[in-house]
Structure 1
Amino acid sequence: MSTLGWIILGGVAMSAIALVGGLAALLPQPVLDRVLLPIVGLAAGSLLGGAFFHMLPSAIDALGNNLAVYVWVVAGFVSFFALEQALHWHHCHFRPDEQRQPLGFLLLVADGLHNLVGGLAVGSAFVVDIRVGVVTWLAAAAHEIPQELGDFGVLIQGGWTKRSALLWNFVSALTFLIGGVVAYFSADVVDVAYLLPFAAGNFIYIASADLIPELATHRAGRDKLETTASLLGGLAILYAATWIG
């Protein structure tokens, strides 16, 4: 399969995951409570493993072990921090009884931007190396499931119908495909390898600032064991993938 074919396949599959995540949110709450923590732990481990075991080594191979690589990592980290701060800033400017629909639209815009950047990252990874692209996609997909669960829940609580929430969640996920295709056709104009450390910074931020703190709020002994095991499992899977190919 061609590089563009891999990118398109990955984009379509990521959009399908958005639908699955939304449908999963319709499961009974006790079931969600039981499976969500391990999924979040696995996602955090996968994002960290993808960043440190695959994306950064590939960026260093392509660009050299120089300061610019690490500057792009920091830029990726800070950009997602800024995006999240902007989202939170808007949250606090709505009263609880006024924020429902505006918050839903804002969430979809932010999710669309997030997916666009993710698509650029995965697309650039495929351009640099198919194997790195597959691993980067897997790490992004692991994060997508708990993210879409949360997004769907916010939309439903904000007064959206289930059909509208599923449809618009799917539409916002299509920006992942757009980002991937843009990265592919930009490869002849710009060095998309610089997007690898940028995306690694994104992944590190999401894992360390969003997912791991969520795991840390659960203090029951069994929860701690499950979340630690799932986090280590995600890291182990991505490390094992370094031996493939």
Structure 2
Amino acid sequence: MISYLGIIITIIFTFEFCSVLTIDINLIQSESNLLYSHLQTPYDLNVLIGLFTVTFINCSALCGAIILPFRNKPTFKWILSGFIGLAVGTLTGSGIFHLIPMAFNTPDRDPQHTYLDKALITMIIIYIFYMRDQLLRIFLNVETIICTHTHGDDDNVLTESNGHVNSIPSKFANSKDASITAATKQVLKKSRTRGLIENLKKMKAAGWMIFIGDMLHNFIDGLTLGAAFMVSIGEGLRLSLPIIFEEFPHELGDIAVLLSSGLTIGQALLMNFLSACSCYFGFILGAKLGELEHFHPWIYALAGGMFVYIGLADMIPELVAMGDEIEKDYIEAKKTVTITLKLKILLCQNSGLILGFVIMFVLGKYGEHLENLVKI
């Protein structure tokens, strides 16, 4: 009798415990769903991932300072040449395949993305004219004329590349073995005892042009990303790719110019970080404006013009200049610069260029399917 009573009590206790446990589990699930739904709002989850992306972009840009001592290695110039080509392809492709059509609300009126076929024709024509110019330079031996004007050892030779003014002390620029590394060592020797404020006062005009130009450039990048992440996480990540590929070669040259302008390595990195912070301000403003849908086309139009200009007017001249530097290294090593070498350089650059085009076209054509696949 006692054993039956014990079994009944055990069964009753088990049912009570299971009911309490079920209530607790349901409560935990409801709280988790509430938290997840809260994070699903654009101002939380999208902004959080967007800020992380901006931070990643800024960190990848600073990687240029780490590999700066290796920029005179022949292999490095080949790799950087491919990266510059990738930046040209992704920037131009992003502008033509994504930003400019979105500025006209074309994707909304054309869900099948047939407009991308016409955009592809535009990109192919650009590429054909680019290849025409490069092949003429190779087979007709068309050389670019570099004009320099110096007034003494303390003056600078200014050369414009990728939209940035590169300043190298003239006594290094006129030397056969001139290099940014040699110039940097000399400048660092003189500026080691000077403070940041004094160095900023004596910083060359090229350094200030780089700093101010970078701030504006990074601000517009942040503005674009802020608006894009408010549309969707996938759209924000899609526009992040060309910015990442473009920042690496750009910032590498910017840090070198800041060093040549009279700053130490730490001061150049600080200036570079301060200019990068404008990307956060642009992102916050873009996220706020991105909540208002009628602002989206204007932001995309602004970014589209900037991306296409940087890709075609800034990065392509740098691509050509990098090929000339590789040839110069062969000449200094007393090696013959043959047409085969020139074609190899062109192939290296075109591999990055075409890859960038293909990436942006595929993301434009099948981006929504990829978002659904990974459930972004």
Q: Same fold (TM over 0.5)?
A: yes
Aligned to 2:318: 214
**Residue in structure 1 matching 2:231, options 112, 128, 137:** 128
Aligned residues: 220
In structure 1, the gaps of 5 or more residues are 66-83
| Length-normalised TM-score, structure 1 | 0.79
**Residue in structure 2 matching 1:112, options 186, 199, 215:** 215
Q: Give yes or no for contact 2:230–2:291 (8 Å, CA) kept in 1.
A: no
Aligned to 1:78: none
Q: Give yes or no for contact 2:89–2:352 (8 Å, CA) kept in 1.
A: yes
Aligned to 2:308: 204
Distance 2:79 2:202 in 1: 29
Distance 2:105 2:267 in 1: 44
Q: Give yes or no for contact 1:7–1:126 (8 Å, CA) kept in 2.
A: yes
- The answer to whether the aligner puts 1:191 opposite 2:235 as a matched pair is no
Q: Give yes or no for contact 1:50–1:238 (8 Å, CA) kept in 2.
A: yes
Aligned to 2:346: 224
Distance 1:216 1:21 in 2: 20
Aligned to 2:16: none
Distance 1:56 1:229 in 2: 25
Is 146-155 or 11-20 further displaced after alignment?
Answer: 11-20
Percent of pairs with identical residues: 29
Aligned to 1:73: none
Aligned to 1:149: 252
Distance 2:56 2:203 in 1: 29
Q: Give yes or no for contact 1:12–1:174 (8 Å, CA) kept in 2.
A: no
| Length-normalised TM-score, structure 2 | 0.53
Amino acid at match of 1:14: I
Greater helix share, structure number: 1
Distance 2:290 2:64 in 1: 32
Distance 1:238 1:64 in 2: 19
Is 25-34 or 47-56 further displaced after alignment?
Answer: 25-34
SS at match of 2:69: coil
Distance 2:204 2:281 in 1: 26
Distance 2:267 2:260 in 1: 13
Q: Give yes or no for contact 1:21–1:148 (8 Å, CA) kept in 2.
A: yes
Distance 1:15 1:148 in 2: 10
Distance 2:304 2:282 in 1: 16
Aligned to 2:206: 103
Distance 2:52 2:102 in 1: 22
Distance 2:80 2:223 in 1: 27
In structure 2, the gaps of 5 or more residues are 1-38, 40-44, 110-159, 172-200, 325-341, 372-376
Distance 1:191 1:127 in 2: 11
| Higher radius of gyration, 1 or 2 | 2
Is 109-118 or 128-137 further displaced after alignment?
Answer: 128-137
Q: Deviations over 1:68-117 (max 9, x none)?
A: xxxxxxxxxxxxxxxx9xx98xx7xxx97998433313311111111001
Cα RMSD between the aligned structures? 2.8
Distance 2:227 2:96 in 1: 16
